[in-house]
Structure formats: C-alpha cells, structure tokens
Amino acid sequence: MDRALGTAKNGMMDAWTRDELLAFLNLMLEAERAGARALLHVAKDTGQADIAAMAGAIQKDEARWCAMLIGAIRKLDGTPSEKTGAFYDKVMALKDDKERLALVNRGQDWVVRKLREALPRIANDSLAEDLSVMLTSHEDNIAKVAGSGLIG
C-alpha cells in the first residue's frame, strides 16, 4: 500500500514528487548499467579465474537491479534512461583487474549511500521494499569483495 503523497517513511522528510523519484531511479539505472557493463568486461578480459567469478556474480546482480529499476520507472509511466553512467569509463580506464574490481566496489558503496539517502523520501511501499533489497544486495557484494582478498 502506498503512503499518501507528500508523506515519507519517517514522517520528517517530504516524499519525492514523481519527477524527483523518476530522476533518482534513472540515476540509479545509469549507475547500475555502468557497473554491469564494466563487470562484464572485467569478467571476460581477466586471466584470473577468481576475479572472473567474482566479477561475473556481481555483474548478474547489477543486471538484475537494472531490470528492477526499468520496471519501476515504467510503473510510474516514466521513460527509462538509455545512458550508461560515466563510471563505466572510469573503470575501463584502469588496466589492472584488481584496481577495476576495487573501483567497482567503491561504486557499490556510492549506490548504498544514495539508497540510504533516498529511502526515507520514497512513499511507495513496494518500491521502497525493492530498493531496500537492492541496498542489502549491494552491502553484501561490498563485503564479499572486501573479504575475498582480491582487492588488497
């Protein structure tokens, strides 16, 4: 069930307007697309099986969130962005696979921060739940990479 427009989860912040919410969702979509695309290249280009496996697993997760975000945008009668975030170029500019994976992990942390900031302003319960699951997934991925020993 949706909360009344203008009432956010914590009652202290105003909920985003539809346009603000669509802008946020498209920003997240562009970021997730950048991560998914970069991780696809890391998994494909590396000669190290452990890095390929980690990058491949996280890439599938990123693609899952792209699909969720596209669906959420369409449910709001919005148009999903077709852009890929600039983060993709930053990752691809690095030559070392471990450095690429480390940068992607920092990008995951950026997404976590943005989601934490946004959730109190999202009045749609279903969307807030989906984004909360996305947040937890990103936290899990950060921990997996950090604990893997692959990024030093």
CATH of segment(s) 18-145: 1.20.1260.10
Tens-place pLDDT, residues 80-123: 999 999 999 999 999 999 999 999 999 999 999 999 999 999 99
Domain boundaries, the chain: 18-145
Tens-place pLDDT, residues 22-67: 999 999 999 999 999 999 999 999 999 999 999 999 999 999 999 9
Q: What per-residue confidence (pLDDT) applies to 1? A: 34
Spatial distance between the Cα atoms of 44 and 39, rounded to a whole number of angstroms? 8
pTM of the predicted structure, to 2 decimals: 0.90
Contacts of 8 (CB under 8 A, 6+ apart): 14, 15, 120, 121, 122, 123
